[in-house]
Amino acid sequence: MKANLLKNLMNIWPPFMGAGIKILRIADDYREVEVTLKMRWFNKNIVGAHFGGSLYAMIDPFHLFHVRLKKRVCLPGEE
């Protein structure tokens, strides 16, 4: 599946829509994914920070992509 089609399909996926998550870009080789989560009343916790479940939902499906593709994943802060 092409990365752009996957991005469009995942942007209308109910868990992403419900949490306010939007995929901005998926690289053609699937090694990079740019995702955003805007602060809204429904994804904010009692102290005004992002709800942890929304943060986890934002990255969870992409870890599986990398495991299934057996590609090395570079996390922020790694070289």
Domains of the chain by residue range: 3-69
Counting beta carbons within 10 angstroms of the beta carbon of residue 51, is it exposed (0 to 12), middle (13 to 18) or buried (19 or more)?
A: middle
For residue range 31-52, what is the model confidence (pLDDT) as tens digits? 788 999 988 888 888 998 888 8
Q: List alpha helices for the chain, DSSP H.
A: 3-11, 14-19, 52-69
Residues with Cβ within 8 Å of 64's Cβ and at least 6 positions away in sequence, in order, are none
For residue range 49-63, what is the model confidence (pLDDT) as tens digits? 888 888 888 888 887
- What is the percentage of the chain residues whose pLDDT exceeds 90? 24
Strand pairing partners for 22? 36
Predicted TM-score of the model (pTM): 0.71
